[in-house]
Amino acid sequence: MVKQRNFDVHHVQRTDSTQDEVRAAASRRAGDGWCCVAEEQTAGRGRLGRRWVAPPGTSLLASVLLRLPADRLEGVPFAGGLATLDALERTAGVHARLKWPNDVLAGGGKVAGLLAEVVSASGESPAAVALGLGVNLSVPEFPPGIAGVSLHTLAARPPSRDAVLDAWLDALGRRLAALEARGLAALLPDWRQAAAGLGAPVTVTTPSATISGLALDVAEDGALLVQTDAGVRRFLAGDVSLGGAAAWLS
């Protein structure tokens, strides 16, 4: 039987990073669903240590502690991305898409991003994951080179931060329940429906190479499959750029 998730939301005015708040909570043995939402982050980050910059009060900045079986870990980024699409559709009527695996695109740019960090020690079960979400709600402008889009420019009636958070947590609970019950396979049909760039040219940049090809699909383990001149390549990580467009930040 799949458990029902209950989220325990803690509001803070200012923090270095909501991800760090969740890490600290995990070390205090906080339970599954412990969530931190902040007005402002002074050291917000995206993946690989990149900065996530948001003027105070203009974004939903939240992280949640998830405890789930270690063999379901690979599905967390997919569940988080799909839940974000669910929330934007429900609260703002915005139909966003996902660039592998979970960059949230709408209106020609990135409207939201997610960061998943495993925080438990190796071998610990259930595993603990800090899943962070940043949604551009009313960001007036983005720094040069950032292909960001703010929700207030897309929605006829922009939703409140709390409305988006509530909808995200609700959707996340449902997506994670499906993941825990049936694995990543339970999420991939919806992910494929929502994917941006499948069947189109992509460029994948890894620390060791830049590879161009045709994005074919995602494998059952979530890897991105790209048809290249040298055959089909599997990617577990990397920055994906769609077509000839400028690289999306990820």
Partner 1 sequence: MAEVKAELVGNLWKIVVEVGQAVQEDDTLMILESMKMEIPITSPVSGTVKEITVKEGDVVQEGQTVAIVE
Q: Which residues bind partner 1 (CB under 8 A)?
A: 47-48, 70, 73-74, 76-78, 101-102, 114-119, 121-123, 129, 206-208, 222-223, 236-238, 250
**Smallest distance from partner 1 to CB 127, Å:** 9
CA distance 225 to 233: 6
CB of 101 to partner 1, least distance (A): 5
- Report residue 180 as tokens: 């825990």
Report helix, strand or coil for 189: helix
- The backbone torsions φ and ψ at residue 189, rounded to the nearest 5 degrees and listed phi first, read -60, -45
Question: How big is the chain, counted in residues?
Answer: 250
What's the rounded Cα separation, in Å, for the pair 15 and 17?
5
Interacting residues of 48 by C-beta distance below 8 A, sequence separation 6+: none
Which token pair is 142? 């983005």
Is residue 153 classed exposed, middle or buried when 0-12, 13-18 and 19+ CB atoms within 10 A define those classes?
A: middle
CB of 213 to partner 1, least distance (A): 17
Nearer to partner 1, 146 or 155 (CB): 146
CB of 39 to partner 1, least distance (A): 25
Nearer to partner 1 (CB atom), residue 144 or residue 207: 207
Question: Nearest Cα to 129, choosing from 218, 40, 5, 2?
Answer: 5
Residue 193 CB partners (closer than 8 Å, separation 6+): none
Cβ of 89: how many Cβ atoms within 10 Å? 14
CB of 175 to partner 1, least distance (A): 15
Q: Please, which residue, 71 or 162, has the CB nearer to partner 1?
A: 71
Helix (H, G, I), strand (E, B) or coil at 193: helix
Nearest distance in Å: CB 116, partner 1: 4
Looking at beta carbons only, is 97 or 152 nearer to partner 1?
Answer: 97
CB of 191 to partner 1, least distance (A): 11
Q: Which is nearer to partner 1, 130 or 165 (by Cβ)?
A: 130
CB-based contact 226:202 (threshold 8 Å): yes
Nearer to partner 1, 123 or 145 (CB): 123
